Amino acid sequence: MFTEWSLTKTLPADFVTKPLRQLLATDWQLPKHLIYSLKRGQRVLVNDQYLPVNFTVKAGDTVALTFVRADFRLPESRITPDSAATVRICYEDDNLLVVNKTAGSKTHPNQPGELGSTLNHVAAYLAPRHQQAFMVHRLDQATSGALIVGKNPAVIPPLVAAIKKKEVSRTYRAWVHGTGLAEHGRISLPIGRDPEDKRKRLVNGPQAQAAVTHYRVLKETADATLVAVQLETGRTHQIRVHLAAIDHPIIGDPLYAHDDAHHLLLHSYQVVLPLPFDFKTITVTAPTPDYFTP
């Protein structure tokens, strides 16, 4: 059983002096209840001493945080480890990793004890080091590529906050049917449910929500186009629905294209994210699979 998680960071030379509370809430994006818990338990130390959170911290100070089980609603991920054979690491540090998810693997299990998902495989990779796999975001089962996975419960709130504030940027690559797309494009079409197929989503379907997708043409062949795609919103199947709606469905899409390709040619190619409890942003690229060609 995991009982506590400790994080230590020395503030960089260009750090601007500010109250400790501002560092925790604004820079490190910890929610109020966690800051309160750290303060109440005197589990936030500056240069090895407890300081009230209204005291200032400055460049060169060392800040140590200790989280305990009671700080979190779900202190354990409860994901059963499976084989780590398919895990491909693109980036890893003490708090998180970015893996290159294989197409056909679900992001996470849906039932207790379920095996076979990407998080099951990552849990097996982390288990020998007594670390856990926590979900941060999802990729469709048929989509491959960069997937962020947390390694402790403390890292999840700042990562989720960064995604919500659009500080995390993800770029996808997709091969679509047809040519003639504008060099750059913006697709703004609401996406709702498909009343005739619960697996699918539909432009202007029931319970539609605003959805915006940006794309850029990278390459054309005789009858296909490679595009880079970024999401302004994050609706289910958004890229797939939007590209199909402009008559350029993704090659191999079993729901929105009618072809006999064996793989959905949609890949989470690159992720840019601010590192939690740090002051730098990294760019991580997930190599495309060998089959990623029309």
Residues in the chain: 294
Question: What are the tokens at 280?
Answer: 């730098």
Q: Write down the catalytic residue from 27, 71, 82, 140.
A: 140
Helix ranges (H only) for the chain are 20-22, 32-40, 118-126, 156-164, 238-245
Active-site residue, 197 included: no
Closest CA to 93 of 256, 284, 230: 284
Catalogue the E-assigned strands of the chain: 4-10, 18-19, 44-46, 49-50, 56-57, 62-68, 89-92, 96-101, 134-135, 144-150, 169-177, 184-188, 191-193, 201-203, 212-220, 224-231, 266-274, 281-285
User: Which residue(s) pair with 165 in the sheet?
Assistant: none
List C-alpha distances in Å: 249 to 48, 185, 233, 238, 241: 57, 15, 19, 12, 8
Contacting residues for 149 by C-beta, under 8 A, at least 6 apart = 96, 97, 98, 99, 119, 122, 133, 134, 135, 136
Q: Which residues are catalytic?
A: 140
